Amino acid sequence: MDGQTWERMWGHVQRVHPDGGAVAAAIRSAARLARPSVPPVPNYKLSMSIPEWLQAIQTYMKMLQSQTKYRYNHTGTQFFEIRKTRPLSGLMETAKEMTRESLPIKCLEAVILGIYLTNGQPSVERFPISFKTHFSGNYFHHVVLGIYCNGRYGSLGMSRRSDLMDKPLTYRTLSDLIFEFEDSYKKYLHSVKKVKIGLYVPHEPHSFQPIEWKQLVLNVSKMMRTEVRKELEKFARDMRMKILKPSSAHSPMKERARGKSLSPRRRQGSPQRRACRRDKSPAVLDKKGDLATLNEVGYQLRI
């Protein structure tokens, strides 16, 4: 990490961390930093129910944020590079790296880690759920891992807000789960503009198939809840019957077509070019000392 990026990260910390420059100064002036603890990766046991197993995974992801009251990666830097067009096998290698390094993670990293830890449970279907929200003149993006098992829906994930990440496996329909997230957003004065639902992620960790992130795109701000529910339930039914197919050939070298939009004004539009946001990943660290310091920063600075 170059000096300019390093200082910009510390400036971000001082602006947004609850304790401001005090924590940053304490870490930067420390002669010797204590080695952070590494939480054990959870192991599935036959005596565990699926809800218990999912809770163990969520607890592990929270432990990556440290055992202090601040639970989220607060540095403004994403420690692991997540390229959505990568094959599933490559993303699973990144997930293994997350378990080795035990650095704090953000929402996108949590989705990949959740997929990795739930592999080998064929009764558990996993699919990405993305939200685009608006607040105070700005747009925000968030993603969680949707879960479907034994006729119930839930989710895994990470967020600064405890009610915008994991949800228990108790929702009877996909629309009930989505509306629960929408109601949670309203508590923070965020209005949900779009919801994007992907396809079930294969349980084969060595698959060269990329994750389908947005097979269904709903402009919920322009739709009635009854219409949103109807579209979500039709999509969920087709997913359970494995009717839906990827929108284009799964090749990591090709850009995939954007998911089908079901907004009232654009039901039969032509395929649109996929909109890709830049992956805000950190530069490769040059020195081991910088990595050790970043590790400590990740554990000490979060909300």
Q: Record the tokens describing residue 216, joined without a space.
A: 């269904």
- Please give the residue that has the higher pLDDT: either 10 or 285: 10
pLDDT digits (tens, 9 = 90+) for 83-124: 899 999 999 999 999 998 888 888 999 999 999 999 989 999
Predicted local confidence at residue 137, as pLDDT: 93
Active site residues: 107, 142, 159
Q: Where are the alpha helices (DSSP H) in the chain?
A: 3-16, 21-28, 50-63, 88-101, 107-118, 174-187, 225-240, 288-300
Range from 148-157, 185-194, 246-255 carrying the lowest mean pLDDT: 246-255
Predicted local confidence at residue 70, as pLDDT: 41
| pTM of model > 0.75 | no
Q: Which residues does 132 contact at the CB level (< 8 Å), separation at least 6? A: 139, 140, 141, 192, 193, 194, 195, 196
Residue among 10, 100, 61, 20 at smallest CA distance from 290: 10
pLDDT digits (tens, 9 = 90+) for 34-93: 776 788 999 988 899 999 999 999 999 988 875 444 445 555 566 677 889 999 999 999
Predicted local confidence at residue 20, as pLDDT: 66
